[in-house]
């Protein structure tokens, strides 16, 4: 199983409008000083998928403020509308007034999950004020994907820490949550302490771990988590999809577990 022959689902990719993509990438390069191999447009993502052998990509929006949620979701639903491999998640803000209405609108459009970003939207995952979001997502049978841990930028606080996610998951056993970046980017010792023993409803994706972990280190952590709880994610355009597939294939894991990570777990969660 390698490269274009592999059947792969990327559970964590980002897109922007053609106008916004160059600005977003330029901003990240300037602020974080990181390599950005993708262009961030719909057309470039599709080319990347074809080259890497990625069958489907879950596209994840970002909405810093409640007023950004609706227009952002409109763009993502439209971008995935022709059914050629893009699976849209919706943006959501835990404190927006029309939260339930927006979840219903997304569900009616065929959207199966939503993403929230603690450090960007400035909320603590274990804040009881977020229960409205968690209950709304769980009641509708949707998935919740959350940025977890740090980012490659010097911020005073990151809000989404493994201990807070563990408390959230314990309080909401009916909520199926996916924590990006193997549960907490550059907070993996805390992932081991708090999240590996957490509820069975907690899943982890592999997005953007390769800049910080070797295949050996990542494989060790995945063995502790359990491969049945791990989803392949790239964080496109911030990493190269083909390179990220090779990163997973380089892990010292059984081929069966690599298949689970690269596609089977995602198929199960997305009912594909």
Report how far residue 116's alpha carbon sits from residue 104's, in angstroms, rounded to the nearest whole number.
17
From the list 172, 267, 183, 184, the residue with the least C-alpha distance to 226 is 183
Task: Note whether 205 and 181 are within 8 A (CB).
Answer: yes
The predicted pLDDT at position 3 comes to: 40
Output the domain CATH number for residue 183: 3.20.20.140
Question: What pLDDT tens digit does each residue of the chain (272 aa) get?
Answer: 444 445 899 999 999 999 999 999 999 999 888 889 999 999 999 999 999 999 999 999 999 999 999 999 999 999 998 778 999 999 999 999 999 999 999 999 999 999 999 999 999 999 999 999 999 999 999 999 999 999 988 888 999 999 999 999 999 999 999 999 999 999 999 999 999 987 789 999 999 999 999 999 999 999 999 999 999 999 999 999 999 999 999 999 999 999 999 999 999 999 98
Helix 99-108 and helix 131-139, axial crossing angle in degrees, nearest 10: 30
Three-state DSSP class for 95? Answer: coil
> What's the whole-model pTM score?
0.95
Please give the distance of CA 170 from its chain centroid, rounded to a whole number: 20
Q: Give the largest Cα separation in the chain, rounded.
A: 47
The predicted pLDDT at position 6 comes to: 52
In the chain, the number of structural domains is: 1
The predicted pLDDT at position 5 comes to: 47
From the list 74, 110, 56, the residue with the least C-alpha distance to 263 is 56
Domain that holds residue 37: 3-270
């Amino acid at each position: 199983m390698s490269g274009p022959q592999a059947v792969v689902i990327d559970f964590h990719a980002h897109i922007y409008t053609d106008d916004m993509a160059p600005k977003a990438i330029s901003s990240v390069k300037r602020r974080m000083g990181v390599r950005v191999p993708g262009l961030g447009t719909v057309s470039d993502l599709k080319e990347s998928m074809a080259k890497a052998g990625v069958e489907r990509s879950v596209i994840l929006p970002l909405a810093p403020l409640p007023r950004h949620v609706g227009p952002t979701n409109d763009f993502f639903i439209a971008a995935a509308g022709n059914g050629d491999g893009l699976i849209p998640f919706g943006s959501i803000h835990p404190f927006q007034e029309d939260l339930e209405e927006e979840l219903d609108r997304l569900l009616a459009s065929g959207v199966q999950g939503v993403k929230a970003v603690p450090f960007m939207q400035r909320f603590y995952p274990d804040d009881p004020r977020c229960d409205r979001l968690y209950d709304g997502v769980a009641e509708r049978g949707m998935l919740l994907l959350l940025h977890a841990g740090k980012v490659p930028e010097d911020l005073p606080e990151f809000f989404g820490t493994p201990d807070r996610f563990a408390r959230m998951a314990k309080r909401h056993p009916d909520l199926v949550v996916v924590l990006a970046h193997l549960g907490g980017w550059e907070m993996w010792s805390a992932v081991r302490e708090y999240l590996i023993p957490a509820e069975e409803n907690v899943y982890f994706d592999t997005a953007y771990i390769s800049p910080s972990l070797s295949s050996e280190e990542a494989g060790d952590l995945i063995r502790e988590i359990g491969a049945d709880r791990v989803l392949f994610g790239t964080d496109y355009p911030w990493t190269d999809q083909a390179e990220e597939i090779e990163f997973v294939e380089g892990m010292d894991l059984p081929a069966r577990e690599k298949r689970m990570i690269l596609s089977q777990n995602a198929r199960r969660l997305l009912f594909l």
